[in-house]
Amino acid sequence: MDRTGSLTELIEGFIVQRELRARLMPDLYAPPTYPNPGASESDLAAAEARLGRPLDPIHRQLLQIADGWKEYDGSHTLLGTADIGLSDTWRSAVEMIEIYSTDGGPIFGWPANPADTVPLCEYYAEMSFVIMTDGPDHTTGQVRSFSSGSNEVFHNVETWLRCELADETDYLDGESFGPHGRAWRQVITAESPAIPEIVAKLDELRRAFGAIRPTWLPDPGPDSRPSATTCSTRWTRRRVSSAWPARPPWTPITYRAEAAPR
């Protein structure tokens, strides 16, 4: 199945987020990095020869679009054909898979043989890899993303990349709009007013309507009840505190809107 279109959109989405990360945190992530050009057929064939097996079909299509990308999310490196079987980054990912596979017994969802995996990306002890064989708790083409305390599974390379982009987008929305960035993203568009415009409009409305000021009425006594003559009064039970030392527990209060001074 040809997934070139959807994979290209995901890579383009990552480019947008990588540039945004560089703008938001220039001291750490500027200038932005970009994906390498797509791999040629000869590059792919050479990588498969070093592996001794064909690449996963979706992984292969991804490499034809972006043949590696250093720090695509600010930290992780997407491995390319030049890495497969050759680079220090590749060897580091393979060694980590072997260590996790052998220390403490087998991990659920991982192939028994570490050689039945192909690393996708790497960042120190964190990596994602494609499973290249079927087993009782895994299938060919699945992606496992592993770090300390996390062992996530994805249906395939495209699903993994889509989830990675969603996480990166949510994180950078939080950096842009605050802790509720995901909700803000649903309502803010290019045509939405900027924060200074919103503040100016609120100030305009405040001046137009004026302040709502409470007016205390005389205490009618503990046995009084609201009547037709006091229909605008709202009876509110208030606890006597130091702020109102002379106020009884039951005090009628009404509100009057006054025009703001010009």
Over pLDDT 70: what percentage of the chain? Answer: 72
CA distance 50 to 83: 11
Candidates 148, 21, 111; CA nearest to 75 is: 21
List, in sequence order, every residue forming a beta bridge with 256; answer none if it has no partner: 213
User: Distance between CA atoms of 66 and 35, rounded to whole angstroms?
Assistant: 6
Amino acid at 60: R
Q: Which of 110, 149, 148 has its CA nearest to residue 129?
A: 110
- Residue 225: is its pLDDT beyond 60? no
Between CA 51 and CA 42 the distance in angstroms is: 14
Q: Which residue blocks in 103-257 are alpha helix, DSSP H?
A: 157-177, 181-187, 195-209
pLDDT of amino acid 224? 58
Annotate 241-255 with DSSP letters as a single string.
-TTSTT--SEEEEEE
pLDDT digits (tens, 9 = 90+) for 142-183: 999 987 667 899 999 999 999 999 999 988 988 887 666 656
My answer on whether omega of the bond before 31 falls inside 30° of 0, hence cis, is yes
Give the pair of three-digit tokens for residue 226.
């609201």
Report the 10 Å Cβ neighbour count for 12: 12
pLDDT range class, residue 242, cuts 50, 70, 90: very low
Amino acid at residue number 159: T
What one-character DSSP code corresponds to residue 116?
G
Whether the predicted pLDDT of 50 surpasses 80: yes
Tell me the mean pLDDT in the region 201-216. 74
Residue 195, pLDDT score: 78
Q: Report the distance separating Cα 12 and Cα 7, nearest Å.
A: 9
Tally Cβ neighbours within 10 Å of residue 230: 15
Asked whether the beta carbons of 89 and 83 are under 8 A apart, the reply is yes
- Minimal CA–CA distance to 47: which of 70, 3, 79, 89? 79
Q: Which amino acid is at 89?
A: T
Q: What is the distance between the alpha carbons of residues 97 and 120, in angstroms, rounded to a whole number?
A: 12
> Does the pLDDT of residue 247 top 60, yes or no?
no
The pTM is what? Answer: 0.69
Question: How confident is the model over 51-56, as a mean pLDDT?
Answer: 96
Of the ranges 78-82, 102-106, 158-162, 192-196, which one carries the lowest mean pLDDT score?
Answer: 102-106
Token pair, residue 11, equals 């890579």
Rounded CA gap, 138 and 157, in Å? Answer: 14
Q: Report the pLDDT value the prediction gives residue 250, as an integer from 0 to 100.
A: 47
Query: Cβ distance 73 to 120 under 8 Å?
Result: no
On whether the CB atoms of residues 108 and 114 are closer than 8 A, the answer is: no
Which among 145, 3, 18 has a CA at the least distance from the CA of 64?
A: 3
